[in-house]
Amino acid sequence: MLLPNLKVTFNYVLIIEWLNEKERRTGEELHRFLQQLSVSSCLVRCEKVDDVRVALRRAVDNVGARGIPVVHIESHGSNPFQGCDVRDAEFGLDAAPGLPWTDLGDWLAPLNEASGFRLLVIGATCWGFAAIAAMKVYEHVAPFAAAVGFSTGVDGGSLHDAMKEFYRAMTRGEGLKDAMDAAQRELRSPTEKLRGTSAPILALRILRGVYDGVRTPEQRTERANEILRNVQNAGFPVREGIEHDLRDYLHDLGETRIVTTHARTLPLH
């Protein structure tokens, strides 16, 4: 499914900057840039996990006074395909325990609900699209209306340029997909990729995966026979015994597509 060109409304950008001590303060730079665009923003510098929780709790408490934020996470993200399960992917400092994206959902969900389910989350980190792991369909309401992030590693300068263009496009009134396309064009390497999804699309993928995983053996056999009938009706030869192989394949396919409540498998590519 393609991401629809959603119109995103927000009142300010909540920049959660969690970087190493001597690093370039890209969150602060974005904060100043947004001021030049006359976009209200709030910069929160974090040193530990609880700082993130407090920032999001305050945003919930201030929805009535400040309105709906965009939650922009400016940090480092771990590669969910190297040395860790997707559900263990996290963001934070290079040399200290970070915050798993799955746990972030527990704090985003109340903010999304308080925002009338219109919250946009930006994972401005390497592998920041892992923010979709915040979606735990059985434990709380959706943690966002839409999420945008990188499905690859990304150079710091490239990320900074892309995010500036993203918000510039948003202030022009462009939809979410158009703003992402504008940001993508600012990336310096063809290997750097920005992705986005909406909560309904992500939830549908999750539920489809769960459904495929819980089919009974009888249901998988019925589905395999249905596929083979369609193949035969189309005039293609079908070798004897293939229905057993197809049934097993459907089972394995369903298992790989399951997305547990802890986001064991997520569509990061």
**How far is residue 194's CA from residue 210's CA, in Å, rounded to a whole number?**
26
**Domain's final residue, options 198, 224, 239:** 198
171 and 251 assigned to the same domain: no
105 and 166 assigned to the same domain: yes
124 and 33 assigned to the same domain: yes
Q: Taking the C-alpha atoms of 106, 108, 113 and 119 in order, what is their torsion angle to the nearest 10 degrees? A: -150
H-run or E-run covering 18: strand 12-18
pLDDT at site 247: 61
- Please check whether residue 5 lies inside any domain of the structure: no
Q: Please choose, from the candidates 222, 166, 239, the residue with its C-alpha nearest in 3D space to the C-alpha of residue 196.
A: 166
Where in the sequence is the domain holding 218, given as residue range(s)?
205-257
**Domain's final residue, options 198, 223, 244:** 198
DSSP secondary structure code for residue 3 in this structure:
P
The number of distinct structural domains making up the chain is 2
**How far is residue 267's CA from residue 269's CA, in Å, rounded to a whole number?**
6
pLDDT at site 221: 72
36 and 56 assigned to the same domain: yes
**Domain's final residue, options 157, 173, 198:** 198
- Please check whether residue 265 lies inside any domain of the structure: no
CATH of the domain at 90: 3.40.50.1460
139 and 237 assigned to the same domain: no
Q: Please choose, from the candidates 103, 74, 91, 72, the residue with its C-alpha nearest in 3D space to the C-alpha of residue 10.
A: 72
- Please check whether residue 3 lies inside any domain of the structure: no
**How far is residue 230's CA from residue 219's CA, in Å, rounded to a whole number?**
17
29 and 107 assigned to the same domain: yes
pLDDT at site 12: 97
- Please check whether residue 6 lies inside any domain of the structure: no
Distances in whole angstroms, Cα of residue 217 to Cα of each of 40, 179, 255: 55, 45, 13
189 and 247 assigned to the same domain: no
- Please check whether residue 91 lies inside any domain of the structure: yes
pLDDT at site 220: 64
193 and 216 assigned to the same domain: no
194 and 210 assigned to the same domain: no
- Please check whether residue 7 lies inside any domain of the structure: no
217 and 143 assigned to the same domain: no
154 and 249 assigned to the same domain: no
Q: Please choose, from the candidates 9, 115, 17, the residue with its C-alpha nearest in 3D space to the C-alpha of residue 72.
A: 17
* Mean pLDDT, the chain cut into blocks of 10 residues (269 residues total): 69 95 90 96 95 97 96 90 66 76 92 93 92 78 91 92 96 93 95 90 65 57 71 67 64 42 36
- Please check whether residue 262 lies inside any domain of the structure: no
pLDDT at site 92: 86
- Please check whether residue 233 lies inside any domain of the structure: yes
Contacts of 40 (CB under 8 A, 6+ apart): 11, 12, 13, 34
Phi, psi (degrees; rounded to nearest 5) at 127: 60, 30
pTM (two decimals): 0.76
177 and 213 assigned to the same domain: no
Residue type, 224: A
